[in-house]
Amino acid sequence: MNSGDTAWVLAASALVLLMTPGVAFFYGGLVRKKNIVSTVMYSFMCMGLVGIVWVLWGYSLAFGPDISGLVGNLEFFGLNGVSADSDAGGGQAFMIFQCMFAIITPALVTGAFAERMKFGALCLFIILWVTIVYAPLAHWVWHENGWLMEFGALDFAGGTVVHMSAGFGALAAALVVGRRIGFSEQSMGPANVPMVMLGAGLLWFGWFGFNAGSALAANGQAVNAFVVTNTAAATSMVTWLMMSWVVDKKPSAVGAATGAIAGLVAITPASGYVGAMPAIIIGLGAGVFCFVAVKLMQRIKVDDALAVFGVHGIGGLWGALATGLFVGIGYYSLEIGRGEQIVNQLVGIG
């Protein structure tokens, strides 16, 4: 990287780190008043534990020398051979950028079992998630020798690695942990709607680093990612509000915040590969599909406390599929047949 690119990646890293406090505020506002502090603490523990794990072995497992396209070895343990002054070992600018992705992913999952996990179990979950789930997935998709990278599945900024993994992991966690006491019998929140809105605003702001920073350069692809990120979020927010107006007979502030996040999730894998018009379609789809998924989860009484599966799981899935449908329209160039790319995306989703 040249100095300008390095500066942008470091700035983007700071923006992505800000997303985790955004998750903390967003989730904290959605739970009952007595659980606000513990829910916020879930996200902050991710910042502490993952920050250590990533430096020690997480980065090496994700981006170290390849083992059969599945995982990296431990050559970069403790950042051995990862230079701050060059791109050796991927370079420390790239390392810290990827660290912020690793931090936010388990933070997203915690929304599924909000109000139900003890502190010790939470710490163990965070460490194991990064080690045996996140790092191998990142290797598959983003390492130059990862099997999904070589297969041709596209994921610009983490629709599958971050959001689908968090969403489907959250569904599994919600099913295993079970429902909260009093679920379906008493109000479960939200306790603080302004806190929810603040969290969503921080997430929207930080997401520009998440997506545009994934260009790893201060270039046109970063600019395009920035533009389509905002476009999809805005479209999804308005779509969600319209769905709420029709189904629930009134729009809501929480719905606006959730809809915006659904759009941000869906555009993530496509943000470096599509133009503004596909971004509107992706945002529209996110607003519809994620809204329906959240309502369905409520209908079948699965206690995914903060709708992680409906927003991140379904939003990430739609975004990954939409990447194949729209790649090269308005930006980028599709190098293979669209049908083949869609198949590649389906394999990546599976």
pLDDT for res 272 = 95
Give the DSSP letter of residue 44: H
Write the pLDDT tens digit of every residue in 136-188.
999 999 999 999 999 999 999 999 999 999 999 989 988 888 777 666 666 66
Of 5-19, 152-166, 296-310, the one with minimum mean pLDDT is 296-310
Write the pLDDT tens digit of every residue in 49-77.
999 999 999 999 999 999 999 999 999 99
Q: Mind listing the domains of the chain with CATH numbers? A: 3-349 (1.10.3430.10)
* Averaged pLDDT of the chain: 93
> Can you tell me whether residue 66 is helix, strand or coil?
strand
Q: Averaged over 95-108, what is the pLDDT?
A: 97
With beta carbons less than 8 A apart as the criterion, state whether 166 and 105 touch: yes
Q: Please, which pLDDT band fits residue 48 given cuts at 50, 70 and 90?
A: very high
pTM for the complete prediction?
A: 0.94
Distance of CA 82 to the CA centre of its chain: 25
Q: Which of 160, 165, 158, 140 is nearest to 150 (CA)?
A: 140
Q: Please, which pLDDT band fits residue 342 given cuts at 50, 70 and 90?
A: very high
Distance of CA 254 to the CA centre of its chain: 19
C-beta contacts of 292-299 below 8 A and 24+ residues apart: 294/258, 295/247
Contacts with 284 (C-beta within 8 Å, 6 or more apart), sequence order = 235, 236, 239
